[in-house]
Amino acid sequence: MLELIVAASIALSPADTPDPKLNWWRDARFGMFIHWGLYAVPAGTWKDKGSGHAEWIRTTAQIPLEEYDKFVSEFNPVLFDADAWCEMANDAGMGYIVITSKHHDGFCLFDSKHTNFDIMSTPFKRDIMAELAEAAPRHDVRMSWYHSIMDWHHPDYLPRRGWEKDRTVDGADMQRFRTYLHGQVEELLTNYGPIGIMWFDGEWESTWRGSYGRELYEHCISLQPDVIVNNRLGARGGMEGMTGMEGYAGGYGGDYMTPEQEIPDAVANGIDWETCMTMNDRWGYNLHDKNFKSTTDLLKKLADIVSKSGNFLLNIGPKADGTFPEESIERLSEIGDWMDINAEAVHGTVGSPFASLEWGRATQKFHDESTTLYLHVFDWPKDGKLVIPGLAGTVLGAKVLGGSSTTFSVGQGEVIVDLPSNMPNKHIGVVAVEVQGKPVIYAPPVISALADVFVNDLDVELTVGSEDIEIRYAINDKSTYGIYRSPIRLVGTTSIHARSYDANKAVSKVVTKTFTKVTPWKAIKLQNHVLNTLTQITYKGTWDDLPDFTQLMSEQTELVSSISATDEEFVALVIDGYLYISATNMIEFALESDDGSRLLIDDRVVIENGGLHGTQEKRGSAPLSRGWHNIKVEWFNKTGGAHLNLRMGVLGEAMHAIDPSIFATSK
């Protein structure tokens, strides 16, 4: 047992505030997502529309309803085995399953009295949800439902897909559809016993309102008070999915956040969240999609997510016969082998107390008088010395999971653990370090400002996680260090070096950051121009990201007075003109869009907000001289909701809508 000086900050987590409803989900940390339905029959291919489709095939391949409905008579998963599915989830260390009771195509995998477009109309004629709900407790997993708000099949759901020119909207009634939706949710939360999660999706279209989400959330809780509901009931903020209960009265809802196909760089303490991700490139089964992530990659993603107190919902797209793809089975088995030894480093843990670790990730588990730090070592040290930076407190012991105890020593502001030369498995080695009480970490200072470049002057702040830690810093060279007491105002290009001290002892490495004073971009001489106008060019097509507009033929060119979206699907806009800046400064822009967008000022990209996503905002800044500057906004919308908005302001001051009077086009 070795003693270290106790100082710096103690990490907190959602587990510090127990929630009886969420505790089982937080403990599980790992779940199985299943996307399964009629779309498994075509397996990603439709006539001459290519082989790149999956669960969205009805709209991406533009299949008419009467054609798509024929898959009902072809869906006969005779090899489906609910116990086998649940057993594979449990063996992989997963604590819950979330399966598509209904996806966007409207087909239901359960016996619903509200529609005939369900499993009972297929040759299979067995309630898949009932069989899974019965099997789950036998294998110690919780059954949960994914249920789509969007419904391409129901006659009352609006909007229609943009390509459905012959499908009338006459008589469609969203209120009647909401009654249908609530009725099916009631079936799912009444007929199948206790359900872990209601996982909603498809909420981003303009016909769905935040208040509807609140009503649906409350309906779920009234049926099963302990059911967990995700945040896809209102505006979730794009694929980042980090919109939660804040502003609930305004229509947001849900118990946790849902990033999709991405892992946040950092998550604030106290936030519950879950990344959902595919094993290959698609959610539903695609016969040709063999781009599967490796088992090592999936385990590293699991470690990364859990190190930030998140959950990992890993997707399987079953085949039409009711079996999992062989590649998925192989990865589940290999993950299970790793979890047989290392599950304690995942289940029941909370996030890392370290800001970053060069060699991997960390999780922790609190006990009455001690804490176990689990060090997920991605890069096993060749010299057998694992350096734990900044760890303070009393270290009680260390061991390699699946191996024996090992020795350790204390360096300056660090602990060094002696490891065997070979990693215990081919994926990730885990080292458990026991510390007395809660771990205390010596953290280096954080050097921050509104931007890394500036035009006039800039205030820089230095922060560290504990009031007991002193920050010392130097300007440009490292010869003279002073004590940091207040923001540092810069008037020229400057490098700041900073280090944490405890009782006159350096306890962190020196961190350095450079802030550059730049020459503002020159204004454009604009003589013959028309105020209050921009040029808007419209394009038609289907894209998953912003296209190369130089290769496209335009549909329409017109003058507009604002930067805003059209309500159409499969459309793109380029809005071009000039913007007047009243005083030389760093100007910040906020670009909000659904789907992707890009902002260019003077032909330089200032904001990149591309890809398919719901409404989300990104910001960027530019050093601009007083006068006219070229402004260009590119935007596209594939399907669903359409949104585009641009705001601006001096960096560090309030953002505001742009007055059309500072727009112009040249004659």
| Contacts with 70 (C-beta within 8 Å, 6 or more apart), sequence order | none
The number of residues in the chain equals: 667
- The answer to whether the beta carbons of residues 520 and 499 sit under 8 Å apart is no
Residue 10 confidence (pLDDT): 39
Distance CA(188)–CA(195), nearest Å, equals: 8
Hunting for tokens 């206790």 — which residue is that? Answer: 194
Within 70-227, strands assigned E span 96-102, 142-148, 197-201
Structure token digits, residue 529? 């121009």
Longest dimension (CA), the chain: 80
Side-chain-facing half-sphere of 621: CA atoms under 13 Å: 21
- What pLDDT is stored for residue 239 in this prediction? 60
- Exposure on the CB side of residue 279, measured as CA atoms within 13 A: 28
CA atoms within 13 A on the CB side of 334: 17
Which pLDDT score is estimated for 509?
84
Cα of 360 vs its chain's centroid, Å: 20
pLDDT on residue 404: 87
Do residues 442 and 413 touch, judged by C-beta distance below 8 A?
Answer: yes
Token pair of 356, please?
């970053």
Nearest to 30 by CA among 346, 483, 356: 346
Domains and CATH numbers, the chain: 2-10+350-441 (2.60.40.1180), 30-345 (3.20.20.80), 446-517 (2.60.40), 529-666 (2.60.120.1560)
Between CA 239 and CA 259 the distance in angstroms is 6
Residues of the chain with pLDDT under 70: 1-17, 235-253, 412, 640
Spatial separation of the C-alpha atoms in residues 626 and 521, rounded to whole Å = 9
Strands laid side by side in the 228-229 sheet: 228-229, 197-201, 142-148, 96-102, 30-34, 311-316, 274-277
The pLDDT tens digits of the residues spanning 3-53 come to 333 334 434 445 456 788 999 999 999 999 999 999 999 999 999 999 999
Q: What is the pLDDT of residues 574-592, one digit of tens each?
A: 999 999 999 999 999 999 9
pLDDT attached to residue 249: 37
pLDDT of res. 502: 86
Q: What is the pLDDT of residue 241?
A: 64
What Cα–Cα distance (Å) separates residue 401 from each residue in 4, 253, 348?
A: 24, 40, 16
Beta-bridge partners for 557: 537
d(CA 349, CA 303): 11
CA–centroid distance for 556 within its chain: 36
Q: Is 25 helix (H, G, I), strand (E, B) or coil?
A: helix
